[in-house]
Amino acid sequence: LGPAVRYGISDPISLQEAEAHDLVLSERMKEELEMVFPTETPEGMERRQGVLQELERLFHEWMLKQCMEANISEEEIKKSTVKITTLGSYRLGVVHPGSDIDTLCIAPPFVRREDFFSTFATVLDQHEDVSECVPIPDAYTPIIKLKMRGVCIDLLFARLARPPEAEVAEEVAKEDEVLKNMDEKSVRCLNGFRVADQILKLVPNQETFRRTLRFIKYWARRRGIYSNIVGFFGGITWSLLVARICQLYPYYAPNQLVNRFFRLYHQWQWNWAKPVTLCDILEYPATVPGMSAFKVWNPKSNPADRQHVMPVITPAFPSMNSTHNVTETTKRILLDEFKRGFEMVQNVEGNKAEWCDVYAPFPFFQEFKHFLMIEILAKSEDVYNKFSGWVESKLRILVMQLEVVNGMRIHPNPLQYDLLESDGEWPFGCDMFLGLSFTPEAGAHASLQIDLRPALTSFMEVILTWTERDAHLGQFRLRLRRLAASDLPYAADSQPAGLRKRPREASD
Ligand code: 3AT
Ligand code: MN
Ligand code: MN
């Protein structure tokens, strides 16, 4: 063995290097993937840079106005340069034409969060290149969603507690100390940036990491398990899981890493005592002023963290679990997919299958005989954007209520589809689906007997707690319908006619 290498919390499992046939397999994997899930083109990357520049310009201009109104001295204005930076997949370098850009505005202390979500959101909304601008100030991680020149942007906001020295806001933001006295929401927004920074530092080879992650993300999309909000895994979780595999096999090629990814996470004893982590989870002792109050994921001291069924922990302080939406149902589906993935990759290695077979789409509408259809309807685009986001964010509550119904299994589908039945009264809307199956033990006629109404009724009650309900009364509607496969207009073997996938990258 060569010199001791150690990435993360344990020694690597293997220090073996890729062999010639692995390099061939990896190259083929890359080429096949490039055909169906290409990386962003150079022109596309240029457009994205232009968008970021324009956002920075707008933010800067708006900031100066804020300063003047607040009577901030010119001296102080000069000291606190604004900074726009990126996080998420854009920062990690895994960008395809449909990717969003997760963008973080780092602002000096005199800029108020409320103003960012009101007056700056208005500036954006009125910009001629901007469409679909939706501020979501009350979310756990507040963001402004928008589209600029066709690129989806998630705009996050962090307000520094102390004015940074000019030009170094980005470096300052990587230090734990920056969090001292910062408000909770800013800490969370900054965290996304700090996590991406850490991931890149903690993997042994960034290019191998990116190539592997690209494959896993496409596979997860096609298998219908890419969605944090619905209770599967989101972009951050997939990135962390791939990063950990890279640490354990620092010299493997992407094809080998994909193999080990499926094997390890299928075999993993998922429970709160076995989190996936990239580094030790740091907690400051009570003696460090201002740093010990941050809530760090810790199932030993915090009973709520023991509810997490598949913990995957973020590396930057304060560490959090990236999978708190996972339920027993989505865990079961994820594990089935890891198992299938491992079998398929072995087939590819044995020349019995192609890489494209690994990411063959999950045949959702052929797989089930019964469905629950969730129709989300609105009278205007604005209300639709807000209401569909709300319903989507509560869907896992419906899943949790249905998963305790005896004898029934549910399979959430994270995609939104064009309305099956259009209705002139409701020009904006989409359908979402849950697949239903009934266990043999439940009896032959279980599907007819099982009563879903209590679960559906209580889900409706949750939906009606929407804080914007009164503001948009009569403008939105939710309908739940139980359908048999024969009610869906599809020809055998094909995607149901009329059910087109809506591209919805931004809200993954
Ligand atoms: P994609 O390629 O975009 O799917 P990603 O790694 O960029 O994968 P996300 O865009 O979901 O993942 O999120 C990246 C980080 O940005 C995670 C979180 O800190 C922040 N973030 C992005 N979008 C949201 C959102 N809608 N709500 C809360 N936080 C968000
Ligand atoms: Mn993203
Ligand atoms: Mn995003």
Cβ of 135 below 6 Å from ligand 1: no
CB 12 within 8 A of CB 249: yes
pLDDT mean over 405-432: 90
What is the per-residue pLDDT across 455-465, written as a single tens digit (0 to 9) for each?
999 999 999 99
**Spatial separation of the C-alpha atoms in residues 350 and 19, rounded to whole Å:** 15
CB 216 within 8 A of CB 222: no
In which element (H, E) is residue 435 found? strand 428-438
Cβ of 97 below 6 Å from ligand 1: no
Nearest CA residue ID for atom 1, ligand 1: 235
Cβ of 100 below 6 Å from ligand 1: yes
Domains and CATH numbers, the chain: 20-36+203-342 (1.10.1410.10), 42-198 (3.30.460.10), 364-487 (3.30.70.590)
| Predicted pLDDT of residue 406 | 81
In which element (H, E) is residue 102 found? strand 101-107
**Spatial separation of the C-alpha atoms in residues 176 and 374, rounded to whole Å:** 43
Give the residue, out of 199, 236, 242, with the most ligand 1 atoms within 8 A of its beta carbon, to mutate for a pocket test: 236
* Nearest Cα residue to 402 out of 374, 443, 382, 367: 374
Atom in ligand 1 nearest the alpha carbon of residue 507: 26
Cβ of 216 below 6 Å from ligand 1: no
Cis before 303? omega within 30: no
Sheet with strand 408-412: strands edge to edge: 408-412, 428-438, 370-378, 476-484
| Predicted pLDDT of residue 2 | 47
CB 341 within 8 A of CB 334: no
Q: At what angle do helices 328-349 and 254-267 cross, to 10 degrees?
A: 140
Cβ of 102 below 6 Å from ligand 1: yes
What is the per-residue pLDDT across 72-95, written as a single tens digit (0 to 9) for each?
877 777 766 668 999 999 999 999
Task: Tell me: pLDDT of 431 over 70.
Answer: yes
Task: Tell me: pLDDT of 330 over 70.
Answer: yes
Closest ligand to C-alpha of residue 227 is 1
DSSP code per residue over 45-59: HHHHHHHHHHHHHHH
Where does the pLDDT of residue 1 fall: very low under 50, low under 70, confident under 90, or very high at 90 and above? Answer: very low
Rg of the chain over Cα atoms, rounded to whole angstroms, equals 24
| Predicted pLDDT of residue 391 | 94
Nearest CA residue ID for atom 30, ligand 1: 141
pTM attached to this predicted model? 0.93
Cβ of 314 below 6 Å from ligand 1: no
pLDDT mean over 409-425: 90
Atom in ligand 1 nearest the alpha carbon of residue 145: 26
Residues with catalytic roles:
89, 100, 102, 154, 217, 226
More confidently predicted of 406 and 128? 128
Nearest CA residue ID for atom 10, ligand 1: 88
Cβ of 89 below 6 Å from ligand 1: yes
| Predicted pLDDT of residue 447 | 60
The count of C-alpha atoms lying within 13 angstroms of the C-alpha of 449, restricted to the half-sphere facing its C-beta, is: 9
Helices (H) and strands (E) in the chain, counts: 17, 9
More confidently predicted of 431 and 8? 431
Task: Tell me: pLDDT of 442 over 70.
Answer: no
Task: Tell me: pLDDT of 242 over 60.
Answer: yes
Residue tagged 């003047």 (tokens): 68
**69 Cα to the center of ligand 2, angstroms:** 34
Closest ligand to C-alpha of residue 89 is 1
More confidently predicted of 501 and 433? 433
**88 Cα to the center of ligand 1, angstroms:** 6
**391 Cα to the center of ligand 1, angstroms:** 19
| Predicted pLDDT of residue 507 | 41
* Nearest Cα residue to 189 out of 166, 163, 230, 159: 159
CB 479 within 8 A of CB 377: yes
Q: Nearest-5° angle of CA 39, CA 40, CA 42?
A: 125
